[in-house]
Amino acid sequence: MTDYKNPGLTLISSEVSPGAIRWRSPSNIALVKYWGKHGVQLPRNPSVSFTLDGAATDTTLSYKARELAGEGVEVELYLDGELNKGFTERTKLFLEKLLPVYPFLKQLSLKIKTSNSFPHSAGIASSASGMSALALCLVSLEEELFEPLKERSEFNKKASYLARLGSGSACRSVYGGAAVWGALTALEGSSDEFAVPVSESLHTVFQDYHDDILLISKSEKSVSSRAGHGLMEGNPYATARYAQATRRTDEMLSVLRQGNVERFGEILESEALTLHALMMSSHPPYILIRPNTLTVIEKIHQYRADTGLPLYFTLDAGPNLHLLYPHSIAAEVKKFIREQLLYFCEDKMYLADRVGKGPERLEVSE
């Protein structure tokens, strides 16, 4: 077990100079899905994801010495320039969970300014990008107030660990290219407590893979992902699913190394449908896909049959479709989207993205 608890990590408040740290961190799309958790944000099965490029959260963490001592954390969170009380309270609870790791947080007054490059409810995991950006800010804050971590890999590992405590899938967004979260026998260093990068083993075809996100519906989900994970505890297919996901993560890693685009797509689509089948077989059951989701899936299948082009889809816990395909067929696929699929999207919207290089520390703007 990784243990970052450090009760000695405290400050002399009079010596703290105000400062700010800014990180941009992307979202990610799971190729093999994590669904079901236990303990403190630990996964029931391993998962592997692509890190996106354009879909990202830009977060600035400002800090100064706290004027009045207190037991909790003093924080305000501003989303798109507006104080957000709901997110402030959620962030406060998250930071207070981190006090065994970072006891100095209760000695500071914190202000967080955050914004997304994509619209809310767009079928993109904003918790993954948001929590990873905040975790990266926190580890940078530790380095500024105390001393740098010895290795960049240690910095990323700690950020991934902290991000996981806020949102499970956020731990994968710390790395560019592709990442695995969950212990795998065949992957040295893999863990349930943090993600590990696997981008160095990606075949060239996957290094600039496209992910275009069709906004079938921008409405808020009827069942949250947090509630969905909880319902897996009573799902009659849970045990078989966890074993299946472990096998598929192993196989997907082989596929990503080999560049087998067809097998990649087969696993990708099966994972998407399996995820939603688990929702429909939960107690109580629930359905997040919409009629237009199914219509577009049928059109993708027909397009693939007619053209032979390797265009495949996946879904997160919602109705919006991610279309994944190699860069070599980008022109043809975008024409297909514009001419045949946008009609089924809310406000005829879609977001064009691709595999990215991971988070970036930015200069703090005035």
What pLDDT score does 220 carry? 77
What pLDDT score does 120 carry? 65
Which tens digit of pLDDT belongs to each residue from 197-254? 999 999 999 999 999 999 999 887 778 888 899 999 999 999 999 999 999 999 999 9
Please list the alpha-helical segments (H only) found in the chain: 85-97, 126-145, 152-166, 204-207, 225-231, 238-258, 261-280, 291-307, 330-336
Average pLDDT over residues 166-194: 97
Using only C-alpha atoms, the chain has a radius of gyration, in whole angstroms, of 21
Which tens digit of pLDDT belongs to each residue from 60-119? 999 999 988 778 999 999 999 999 999 999 999 999 999 999 999 999 999 999 999 887
What pLDDT score does 366 carry? 63
pLDDT, mean over the chain: 95
- Torsion angle of C-alpha atoms 84, 89, 93, 98, degrees rounded to 10: 40
What pLDDT score does 123 carry? 57
Residue intervals of the chain classified under CATH 3.30.230.10 are 13-202
What pLDDT score does 221 carry? 76
Which tens digit of pLDDT belongs to each residue from 118-165? 876 555 768 899 999 999 999 999 999 999 998 999 999 999 999 999
pLDDT exceeds 60 at position 188: yes
Residue 14 near residue 65 (C-beta atoms within 8 A):
yes
Q: How many CA atoms lie within 13 A of 255 on its CB side?
A: 20
What pLDDT score does 311 carry? 98
In this prediction, residue 173 has a pLDDT band, given cuts at 50, 70 and 90, of: very high
What pLDDT score does 247 carry? 98
pLDDT exceeds 80 at position 1: no
What is the CATH code of the structural domain delimited by 204-354?
3.30.70.890
What residues form DSSP beta bridges with 95? none
For β-strands 108-116 and 74-79, DSSP reports them as parallel
pLDDT exceeds 90 at position 329: yes
Residue intervals of the chain classified under CATH 3.30.70.890 are 204-354
**DSSP at 337:** I
CATH number for domain 13-202, candidates 3.40.190.10, 3.40.309.10, 3.30.230.10, 3.40.50.10540: 3.30.230.10
What pLDDT score does 69 carry? 74
Question: Quick one: how far is CA 285 from the chain centroid?
Answer: 25
What pLDDT score does 255 carry? 98
What pLDDT score does 281 carry? 96
Q: Is the peptide bond before 26 cis (omega within 30 degrees of 0)?
A: no
